[in-house]
Every structure is written in structure tokens, then in C-alpha cells.
A and B are shown apart, each in its own frame.
Chain A
Amino acid sequence: MISRSYRRAMTTIHADGLTKRYRELTAVDDLTFTVRPGRVTGFVGPNGAGKTTTLRMLLGLTRPTAGSARFDARSYGELSNPARLIGASLDPNSFHPGRRGRNALCISAATIGASRQRVEEVLELVGLADAASRRVKTFSSGMLQRLSIADALIGDPEVLIFDEPTSGLDPGGIHWLRGFLRMLAGQGRTVLVSSHQLAELEQTIDDALLIDRGQEVVSGDLDSLLADSGHESLEDLFLARTTTGALR
């Protein structure tokens, strides 16, 4: 089973001065933050704030112009079998449409040395066990999202990074995801999740990291942030402190 009452290692994400420039555009600007284990951290910002670029820099998919990202002491690229430590769900459409769902996960499992049994476990966990024999092109967007989450879990990682995981999920799926993220953090895992569903996110996260135009706006324990700023909700804080709020 996936649930483990005792976890031997806890991993902290450190971003130090992360910067990404594309010619004149600075997508991420000197971003420094820490994501702690045993907590769900919400990564929030308007469209184009640099959230996805930041996540991709953490995972070695995008090269920072400056700065670095580490999981404890090592960068993603320095890990010998990174998916055993870090699971990431970035793009639910990154599965070959002609491949069966189960085969897609078996390929990931074979790459990182996980068992076939583990594939069945994660399929069961995300509620796709019955549909996994179908080709991916027949999956709904919610099923794709679940498949992507299952893929991230195959290595039973300490760290989980989700980019917009509620996208495509129906209300039942969102409810399931909330409990699921809480369960993962409860097991001592480090969970970083970006989302635009602020009301939903507020019910799930412990910490918040709010960025705008590639720069940090506020970060820290969500309850403290709301208390210190005098805002009643994450959405109020978001609207007050970002360019989206200025458009109102």
C-alpha cells in the first residue's frame, strides 16, 4: 500500500535566487523560497506570474538564467534516480494518446525500477484501475489528470510537485484531491501545488507562496499571512497584492 505511517527521510525544497529571462522578458526574477516537508504549500500567482517556469526550473526541465534549486543538498539533475525522491505532475497531456494508460505507467515504472505491482497500486489509488486498459486518447481531462498524478506517485517519492492538479477534475475529483494532498503531507512528504482554485486551495494548504511578475509577493504559514495582512481569505490576499487585483 502507499500509506506509510513512518517516513525515514524528509526533504526540503530550496530555491535560491532563481531567475529566468527570455530575451527582454524576465519570467522569474530572483526568487528565493523554501518548501517544508510534512506540509502542503500552495504556489499561487496570476497567469504569467512565472509559476510553471519556476516548477520546471526546480525539475531541471528549464535552465535558470541565474540561481539554483535544490532538494536538500542536491539539484534534480544530480539525483541518480530522481523520480524515486521527487514525483511531478506538470502536464496531463504528456501521455502518448495511442498508448494504454497502464502501459504508460509501466514504462515509467520500468525506467525507475519500480514494480508492476506498484503500477496497480497507484492506479487503484487514483481510481483508474478499471479504465487503465483503455487508450489514453479515450480518457477525459479528469482521467488524464488522475493518470498524471498516478505517474508522479510511482516512485513513492518524498517530494510531490503538482502544477494545476485540479484542472479538468470535477467537484468530486477536487474533493478527492484535497484529501489526497492532506494525506501525502500527513505522511511527512513535501507537497508543492500550484493552482488558480484559491478557495479550494485555501482548504488544503498549510503554507502559501504568492508570486507576481516573477517575484515573490508574500510567503509563509497561511494562517499567519492572513492574520498579519488583515485579509479574510487567500483570494482577498491574492486580489489585494497582485496585478490581477489591480485590474478590478
Chain B
Amino acid sequence: MKTLVRVELRKLATIRGPRVIVAAASALVIVFAVFAVATAGEGDAPPLGPETLPGFLRSPAQLLGFVALLIGVIAAAGEWTHRTVTRTFLLTPARRRVVMAKMLTGVIVGVGISVLALTLGLLVVLPVLVAKGTALPAVASAEAALATIGISALYGSMGVALGVLTRNQTVALVAALLWSLVAENVVPIVMRAPQLYAWLPGGATDAIIGRDRSGLLDPVGGGLLLAAYAVALATTGTLLILRRDTA
């Protein structure tokens, strides 16, 4: 499995798309960081204080989650888009193992992206906070960083799962966007069950971030729920590719 994961990471490292996406996401997080310290106390923005650092560490969670999902989709659906899947399954006929390796790769990529982006952001935020003598709450900051890293890791595997299920990069991304922007808001209303939101991926993500919204699970429960979605999608996708011929 270690070899397959290494190979999957190498596949991503040897094409341009993922590198560009990671660079763009890191640049955006640096912008978040500059914004967090430069606008503190202006307008509606709260002044620098004990919440500044955890707030910054939590702020790019959804962005980095989406970026990890995008790369997960490229890692999985990209195999069909570029017809490389034939060679992948020739070299490793055990398709379940290929999917598992890709899921693990999604998690590793998610962790890697968020750690890199947060580290770059901290290089901007920390010197300012230290210079201004702002309190740096260790536990709250660690929780916030873990939430962001966890979301990114889970969305990385979710992207792989979606990619395996759809076998098409565009369909996977459109489905993910439609789900998060439309379906998650509409489904609880249509079903007249607002509490349902807590059990959808968006509700699970909000729970991990620690959003102040009633009825959400606790952060660990949110993480487990999101992981369950990823495993369910990947299992369905795996069953389909086990039954289907490789075109």
C-alpha cells in the first residue's frame, strides 16, 4: 500500500495542475493573513485580541477543503479523463487497493496543503501579533488548526471518492458545487426538516469548524460523519469499477 500511495503522490507531483492549485491556495491564505492583521479594529472587524489567531487558523478551512477536494478529484477522475486508468489497472489489477491508495493520498494531500498554507499564513500573522503583544491562546489555536487540517484531509478523500464514483472531473466538480451551494440548503427545506442539515456534509463541516449554529454535532462527530460520507461514496464507486470494464 505504501508503494501505491507513493506512486499516487508522484502522479500528482508530475503534472502542473495540482502544483498551480496549491500555489494559488497558499497565496490566498497569505492574503487572508494580511487581511486579518491589517484590517483588525477597522469597521466591523474585531480588534487584535485572543480570538485573532484561532480565527485566522479557522478562516481558510472551507477554501482549503475545496482545494483538497479538487486535487482528490484530479487524482481519481483524472485517470479516466486522460485514459491513464488502463495502465493503472494493468500495473495493479487489484482495483480496491488502487482506490484505497488514492483515498489515503487524498488525506495526505489535504493535510499537506493545509499545513503548508497555514504555515505561510502564520509567517505573516505571528510576527504582528507578537510585536503588538496580543495574547496567543495555545489550546484554542491548536483546535482551530486541527479543524482546518482535518477538514482539508477529509475533503481530499471525499474528492477521490467523488472522482471514483463519477469517473469524470467536470461531473464530479459540478456535482460537488451543486450539492454544497444548492442541495444542502434546499433539501432540509423541501423535507421540512431543518435539523437534517446537521447530518449533511455541510453541517458536518460546520461542526468541525465550530460554527455557532444550533443542532450541529460536536467537532469529532462532524469529522466522523464526513469520513463516513467519503467511505460510503468510495465504496459505491469501487463496487461500480469492479463491475465495469475498463474502457
Contacts and interface: CB of A to CB of B under 8 A. Distances in A.
Interface of A: 56, 59-63, 76-77, 79, 82-83, 88, 90-91, 93-100, 103-104, 106-108, 110-113, 151
B14 A100 contact: yes
A97 B86 contact: no
B14 A99 contact: yes
Nearest to B10: A107
Nearest to A88: B90
Given A94-B87, A100-B14, A151-B87, A76 B245 contact: no
A88 B87 CA distance: 9
Contact of B86 (A94, A100, A107, A112): A94
Given A98-B15, A100-B14, A111-B4, A62 B245 contact: yes
Contacts of B90: 59, 61, 82-83, 88, 90
Contact of B92 (A93, A111, A151): A111
A61 B246 CA distance: 5
B93 A82 contact: yes
Contact of B89 (A61, A79, A95, A108): A61
B9 to A, nearest CB: 10
10 contacts: A60-B89, A61-B245, A83-B91, A93-B83, A94-B85, A96-B15, A96-B84, A99-B14, A103-B10, A107-B11
A151 to B, nearest CB: 7
9 A-B pairs with the lowest CB-CB distances in the bound complex, closest first:
A103-B14, A62-B245, A61-B246, A111-B91, A94-B83, A77-B93, A98-B15, A96-B82, A94-B86
A98 B16 contact: yes
Nearest to A98: B15
A99 B10 CA distance: 11
Interface residues of B, number: 25
Contacts of B47: none
A89 to B, nearest CB: 10
Contacts of B4: 111
Interface string B89-130: 111111000000000000000000000000000000000000
A93 B84 CA distance: 8
B10 to A, nearest CB: 6
A156 to B, nearest CB: 14
B6 A110 contact: yes
Given A62-B245, A63-B245, A94-B83, A99 B15 contact: yes
Residue from A61, A76, A77, A104 with most neighbouring chain B CB atoms (10 Å)? A61
Contacts of A93: 83
Contacts of B82: 94-97
